Structure 1
Protein backbone atom coordinates (compact mmCIF):
# COMPACT_ATOMS: atom_id res chain seq x y z
CA UNK A 1 0.00 0.00 0.00
CA UNK A 2 2.89 2.40 0.76
CA UNK A 3 4.34 1.78 -2.70
CA UNK A 4 1.00 2.61 -4.31
CA UNK A 5 0.68 5.82 -2.29
CA UNK A 6 4.27 6.76 -3.15
CA UNK A 7 3.69 6.08 -6.84
CA UNK A 8 0.52 8.19 -6.75
CA UNK A 9 2.40 11.06 -5.10
CA UNK A 10 5.18 10.91 -7.72
CA UNK A 11 2.61 10.88 -10.53
CA UNK A 12 0.81 13.87 -9.02
CA UNK A 13 4.06 15.82 -8.74
CA UNK A 14 4.90 15.04 -12.37
CA UNK A 15 1.50 16.23 -13.62
CA UNK A 16 1.63 19.00 -16.24
CA UNK A 17 0.25 21.61 -13.85
CA UNK A 18 3.07 21.02 -11.37
CA UNK A 19 5.69 22.65 -13.63
CA UNK A 20 3.53 25.56 -14.83
CA UNK A 21 4.89 29.09 -15.23
CA UNK A 22 4.62 31.30 -12.15
CA UNK A 23 1.63 33.62 -11.71
CA UNK A 24 4.01 36.57 -11.92
CA UNK A 25 7.69 37.34 -12.46
CA UNK A 26 10.20 36.53 -15.18
CA UNK A 27 9.09 33.72 -17.50
CA UNK A 28 11.32 30.80 -18.48
CA UNK A 29 9.62 30.37 -21.87
CA UNK A 30 8.30 32.94 -24.32
CA UNK A 31 4.51 32.88 -24.78
CA UNK A 32 3.66 32.02 -28.38
CA UNK A 33 1.55 35.20 -28.61
CA UNK A 34 4.73 37.30 -28.49
CA UNK A 35 6.85 35.42 -31.02
CA UNK A 36 7.41 36.61 -34.56
CA UNK A 37 7.58 40.00 -36.26
CA UNK A 38 5.79 43.16 -35.18
CA UNK A 39 5.55 46.36 -37.25
CA UNK A 40 5.00 49.84 -35.85
CA UNK A 41 1.63 51.04 -37.14
CA UNK A 42 1.36 54.37 -35.35
CA UNK A 43 0.86 55.97 -31.98
CA UNK A 44 -1.92 56.15 -29.43
CA UNK A 45 -1.88 59.21 -27.17
CA UNK A 46 -3.11 60.30 -23.80
CA UNK A 47 -6.17 62.54 -23.93
CA UNK A 48 -5.28 66.01 -25.19
CA UNK A 49 -2.13 64.89 -27.02
CA UNK A 50 -1.73 64.54 -30.79
CA UNK A 51 0.10 61.63 -32.44
CA UNK A 52 3.10 62.45 -34.61
CA UNK A 53 2.33 62.83 -38.31
CA UNK A 54 5.70 61.24 -39.14
CA UNK A 55 5.49 57.52 -39.89
CA UNK A 56 8.45 55.58 -38.51
CA UNK A 57 9.51 52.40 -40.28
CA UNK A 58 10.13 50.08 -37.32
CA UNK A 59 10.03 46.28 -37.16
CA UNK A 60 10.88 44.01 -34.25
CA UNK A 61 11.17 40.23 -34.25
CA UNK A 62 11.11 38.08 -31.11
CA UNK A 63 12.60 34.57 -31.23
CA UNK A 64 11.84 31.71 -28.79
CA UNK A 65 15.45 31.72 -27.51
CA UNK A 66 14.96 35.23 -26.02
CA UNK A 67 16.77 37.02 -28.84
CA UNK A 68 15.36 39.92 -30.83
CA UNK A 69 16.13 41.93 -33.94
CA UNK A 70 14.96 45.55 -34.07
CA UNK A 71 15.12 47.55 -37.30
CA UNK A 72 14.28 51.26 -37.19
CA UNK A 73 14.58 53.35 -40.36
CA UNK A 74 17.13 50.89 -41.79
CA UNK A 75 19.27 50.59 -38.63
CA UNK A 76 19.30 47.11 -37.11
CA UNK A 77 20.18 46.07 -33.59
CA UNK A 78 20.12 42.64 -32.02
CA UNK A 79 20.15 41.43 -28.48
CA UNK A 80 18.35 39.53 -25.77
CA UNK A 81 15.06 40.22 -24.06
CA UNK A 82 13.10 39.05 -21.06
CA UNK A 83 9.39 38.53 -20.52
CA UNK A 84 7.67 39.32 -17.23
CA UNK A 85 4.15 38.54 -16.10
CA UNK A 86 2.54 40.87 -13.58
CA UNK A 87 -0.38 39.98 -11.33
CA UNK A 88 -2.99 42.30 -12.84
CA UNK A 89 -1.20 43.71 -15.88
CA UNK A 90 -0.24 42.65 -19.40
CA UNK A 91 2.85 40.64 -20.22
CA UNK A 92 5.90 42.86 -20.61
CA UNK A 93 8.98 42.47 -22.81
CA UNK A 94 12.15 44.36 -21.89
CA UNK A 95 15.05 44.56 -24.33
CA UNK A 96 18.26 43.78 -22.42
CA UNK A 97 20.80 46.57 -22.30
CA UNK A 98 18.16 49.15 -23.26
CA UNK A 99 15.28 50.86 -21.53
CA UNK A 100 12.74 49.74 -24.16
CA UNK A 101 9.69 47.95 -22.77
CA UNK A 102 6.69 46.58 -24.65
CA UNK A 103 3.36 45.48 -23.17
CA UNK A 104 1.26 42.84 -24.91
CA UNK A 105 -2.23 44.37 -24.88
CA UNK A 106 -4.75 42.25 -26.73
CA UNK A 107 -3.19 41.51 -30.11
CA UNK A 108 -0.84 44.53 -30.08
CA UNK A 109 2.45 45.51 -28.53
CA UNK A 110 2.51 48.94 -26.91
CA UNK A 111 5.65 50.91 -26.02
CA UNK A 112 4.82 53.70 -23.54
CA UNK A 113 8.16 54.29 -21.86
CA UNK A 114 11.92 54.01 -21.77
CA UNK A 115 12.74 53.19 -18.17
CA UNK A 116 11.33 55.97 -15.99
CA UNK A 117 10.61 58.27 -18.96
CA UNK A 118 6.92 57.85 -19.81
CA UNK A 119 5.67 58.93 -23.24
CA UNK A 120 2.46 60.91 -23.76
CA UNK A 121 1.98 58.92 -26.96
CA UNK A 122 2.62 55.19 -27.02
CA UNK A 123 4.07 53.42 -30.03
CA UNK A 124 1.75 50.70 -31.30
CA UNK A 125 2.99 47.54 -33.03
CA UNK A 126 0.88 44.91 -34.79
CA UNK A 127 1.73 41.57 -36.35
CA UNK A 128 3.76 41.82 -39.54
CA UNK A 129 3.13 39.31 -42.29
CA UNK A 130 2.19 35.69 -41.68
CA UNK A 131 4.90 34.67 -39.23
CA UNK A 132 2.95 35.83 -36.17
Structure 2
Protein backbone atom coordinates (compact mmCIF):
# COMPACT_ATOMS: atom_id res chain seq x y z
CA UNK A 1 0.00 0.00 0.00
CA UNK A 2 2.83 2.41 0.84
CA UNK A 3 4.46 1.66 -2.53
CA UNK A 4 1.25 2.57 -4.39
CA UNK A 5 0.83 5.78 -2.39
CA UNK A 6 4.45 6.74 -3.05
CA UNK A 7 4.08 6.05 -6.77
CA UNK A 8 0.91 8.16 -6.94
CA UNK A 9 2.62 11.00 -5.07
CA UNK A 10 5.56 10.97 -7.51
CA UNK A 11 3.18 10.88 -10.49
CA UNK A 12 1.15 13.77 -9.09
CA UNK A 13 4.31 15.84 -8.63
CA UNK A 14 5.58 15.26 -12.19
CA UNK A 15 2.32 15.89 -14.07
CA UNK A 16 2.02 19.60 -13.10
CA UNK A 17 5.70 20.15 -13.97
CA UNK A 18 5.23 18.67 -17.46
CA UNK A 19 2.12 20.77 -17.99
CA UNK A 20 3.94 23.90 -16.88
CA UNK A 21 6.81 23.24 -19.33
CA UNK A 22 4.35 22.83 -22.20
CA UNK A 23 2.53 26.04 -21.28
CA UNK A 24 5.80 27.99 -20.96
CA UNK A 25 6.95 27.02 -24.46
CA UNK A 26 5.28 29.30 -27.02
CA UNK A 27 3.25 27.63 -29.76
CA UNK A 28 4.68 30.08 -32.27
CA UNK A 29 6.35 33.43 -32.54
CA UNK A 30 9.46 35.33 -33.42
CA UNK A 31 12.74 34.28 -31.85
CA UNK A 32 14.70 36.83 -29.88
CA UNK A 33 18.08 35.23 -30.64
CA UNK A 34 19.15 34.33 -34.16
CA UNK A 35 19.65 30.55 -34.36
CA UNK A 36 23.24 29.54 -35.16
CA UNK A 37 22.13 27.09 -37.85
CA UNK A 38 21.01 29.91 -40.18
CA UNK A 39 23.86 32.36 -39.63
CA UNK A 40 26.34 32.96 -42.43
CA UNK A 41 26.14 32.81 -46.21
CA UNK A 42 23.82 30.68 -48.34
CA UNK A 43 24.10 30.23 -52.12
CA UNK A 44 21.25 29.36 -54.46
CA UNK A 45 21.96 25.95 -55.98
CA UNK A 46 18.79 25.37 -58.01
CA UNK A 47 15.07 24.79 -57.81
CA UNK A 48 12.80 22.07 -56.48
CA UNK A 49 9.34 21.91 -58.05
CA UNK A 50 5.90 20.59 -57.28
CA UNK A 51 5.01 17.37 -59.10
CA UNK A 52 4.35 18.03 -62.78
CA UNK A 53 6.44 21.21 -62.89
CA UNK A 54 9.90 21.50 -64.44
CA UNK A 55 12.69 23.46 -62.73
CA UNK A 56 14.33 26.26 -64.68
CA UNK A 57 17.67 25.49 -66.32
CA UNK A 58 19.16 28.97 -65.94
CA UNK A 59 21.57 29.17 -63.03
CA UNK A 60 20.84 32.33 -61.01
CA UNK A 61 23.72 33.82 -59.06
CA UNK A 62 22.09 34.51 -55.68
CA UNK A 63 23.68 34.71 -52.25
CA UNK A 64 22.11 35.59 -48.91
CA UNK A 65 23.89 36.22 -45.63
CA UNK A 66 22.18 36.21 -42.24
CA UNK A 67 23.88 38.07 -39.38
CA UNK A 68 23.49 37.57 -35.64
CA UNK A 69 21.85 41.02 -35.24
CA UNK A 70 18.93 39.98 -37.52
CA UNK A 71 20.39 41.83 -40.48
CA UNK A 72 20.64 40.24 -43.92
CA UNK A 73 22.33 40.98 -47.23
CA UNK A 74 20.84 39.51 -50.41
CA UNK A 75 22.77 39.68 -53.68
CA UNK A 76 21.03 38.53 -56.88
CA UNK A 77 22.85 38.85 -60.20
CA UNK A 78 24.98 41.71 -58.85
CA UNK A 79 22.13 43.65 -57.20
CA UNK A 80 22.42 43.89 -53.41
CA UNK A 81 19.74 44.67 -50.87
CA UNK A 82 20.01 44.83 -47.10
CA UNK A 83 17.48 44.76 -44.34
CA UNK A 84 16.21 42.92 -41.31
CA UNK A 85 14.81 39.43 -41.00
CA UNK A 86 12.59 37.60 -38.52
CA UNK A 87 12.82 33.97 -37.47
CA UNK A 88 9.85 32.03 -36.19
CA UNK A 89 8.77 28.48 -35.71
CA UNK A 90 5.44 26.81 -35.23
CA UNK A 91 5.48 23.75 -33.02
CA UNK A 92 6.75 20.71 -35.00
CA UNK A 93 7.52 22.84 -38.09
CA UNK A 94 10.78 23.99 -39.67
CA UNK A 95 12.34 27.33 -38.84
CA UNK A 96 10.89 30.09 -41.00
CA UNK A 97 12.94 33.15 -41.94
CA UNK A 98 11.15 36.17 -43.38
CA UNK A 99 12.94 39.12 -44.94
CA UNK A 100 11.04 42.03 -43.42
CA UNK A 101 11.12 44.46 -46.32
CA UNK A 102 10.73 42.05 -49.24
CA UNK A 103 8.27 39.41 -47.92
CA UNK A 104 10.55 36.58 -49.06
CA UNK A 105 10.21 33.58 -46.77
CA UNK A 106 12.64 30.71 -46.32
CA UNK A 107 12.15 27.40 -44.51
CA UNK A 108 15.12 25.53 -43.07
CA UNK A 109 14.55 21.95 -44.27
CA UNK A 110 17.18 19.22 -43.97
CA UNK A 111 20.02 21.73 -43.68
CA UNK A 112 18.92 23.70 -46.75
CA UNK A 113 16.93 26.91 -47.13
CA UNK A 114 13.85 26.63 -49.33
CA UNK A 115 12.09 29.72 -50.71
CA UNK A 116 8.56 28.85 -51.88
CA UNK A 117 6.77 32.18 -51.42
CA UNK A 118 6.83 35.94 -51.35
CA UNK A 119 4.03 37.10 -49.08
CA UNK A 120 0.79 35.50 -50.29
CA UNK A 121 2.30 34.49 -53.65
CA UNK A 122 3.28 30.81 -53.58
CA UNK A 123 5.72 29.53 -56.21
CA UNK A 124 5.36 26.21 -58.07
CA UNK A 125 9.12 25.82 -57.92
CA UNK A 126 11.03 26.65 -54.76
CA UNK A 127 14.50 28.13 -54.79
CA UNK A 128 17.00 26.01 -52.90
CA UNK A 129 19.95 27.50 -51.00
CA UNK A 130 22.84 25.59 -49.45
CA UNK A 131 25.48 26.86 -47.08
CA UNK A 132 28.23 28.71 -48.97
CA UNK A 133 31.88 28.42 -48.02
CA UNK A 134 32.48 31.50 -45.84
TM-score by length of 1: 0.81
| Equivalent in the alignment of 1:121 | 125
Among residues 50, 70, 82, which one is paired with 2:74 in the alignment? 70
CA distance in 1, matches of 2:73, 2:26: 27
Superposed counterparts of 1:1-132, under 5 Å: 22-129=26-133, 131=134
- Secondary structure of 2:37's partner? helix
What SS does the aligned partner of 1:82 have? Answer: strand
Check conservation: 1:21, 1:28, Cα contact below 8 A.
Answer: no
Task: Give the CA deviation at 1:94.
Answer: 0.4
Count of residue correspondences:
112
Stretches of structure 1 that go unaligned for 5 or more consecutive residues are: 1-16
The answer to whether the 8 A contact 1:21-1:27 is kept is no
RMSD: 1.6
Higher share in helix: 2
Q: Distance in 1 between matches of 2:80 and 2:72?
A: 10
Task: Return the index of the structure with the highest Cα Rg.
Answer: 2
Q: Displacement of 1:22 after TM fit?
A: 4.0
TM-score when normalising by structure 2 = 0.79
Q: By how many angstroms is 1:23 displaced?
A: 4.9
